[in-house]
Amino acid sequence: MKSTSQPLTDQHLMLRLLILLMALVGNLGASFRMLLMQIALFGLFSLLDLTSLKNLRRALRLIIIFLAAYWLFATILNTPFLSMTLFSLKLIFFAQVTVYTFSHLSMPRVLHDCRWLLKRSWGRGLVFYLAATVMFVNSLRSEFLSPRRKDVPATQRFVDASKASLEQGDHISQNLEAMMADPTLYQDATPAPALIGLALLTLMTFLGAI
């Protein structure tokens, strides 16, 4: 399988995790102004792949429900408006960074970038466990959202989806073993995605120093 040409899809996993770490650490004591600049920065880089904007929209829909409840209780408890706004921006920024980090990942990309771990028995076991968990959750989500179950009550739909996903356990394990055994599954990334990620890290550091 050839690597994709999308600049965000082809970024190395470790570079993504470094971006995530820096964003979260910088988010701890960020000011209102800093958060707005960081949100704008990630939004600008997300324009390189419009799929990330669609994923962010879905994530924000879930966050809005939580924020509505948060603002209700925070207002009842007389929480200062600026504190409420700052917390909301931090949550939105967290969603934005998480989408940037994980929404473009593929299993071949992850296995390729973790190939140094696969050479060690403990590392191979760890990668297999985490990858199998992700694949199972994706299977569960697909089964739960299947159109053939749209008229089934949510509780029963979850039970049926869980049973169907468990039945696919052996198939998931076999597919994962095959991917881990194929070193040609994903080619090395071109320099451009890494340069884009490094540019983002540089700008994040620059904004943090302002």
> What confidence tens digit (pLDDT) does each residue in 182-204 have?
766 666 666 777 888 888 888 88
**Averaged pLDDT, 164-180:** 81
Q: What is the pLDDT of residue 2?
A: 44
Taking alpha carbons only, the member of 115, 128, 111, 113 closest to residue 13 is: 113
- Mean pLDDT of all residues belonging to the chain: 80
Decide: helix, strand or coil at residue 178. Answer: helix
**Averaged pLDDT, 107-127:** 81
CA distance 116 to 113: 8
Contact 197, 15 (CB under 8 A): yes
Q: What is the pLDDT of residue 185?
A: 66
Q: What is the pLDDT of residue 135?
A: 81
What does the block give as tokens for 145? Answer: 């959202």
Checking if the pLDDT of 5 tops 60, the result is no
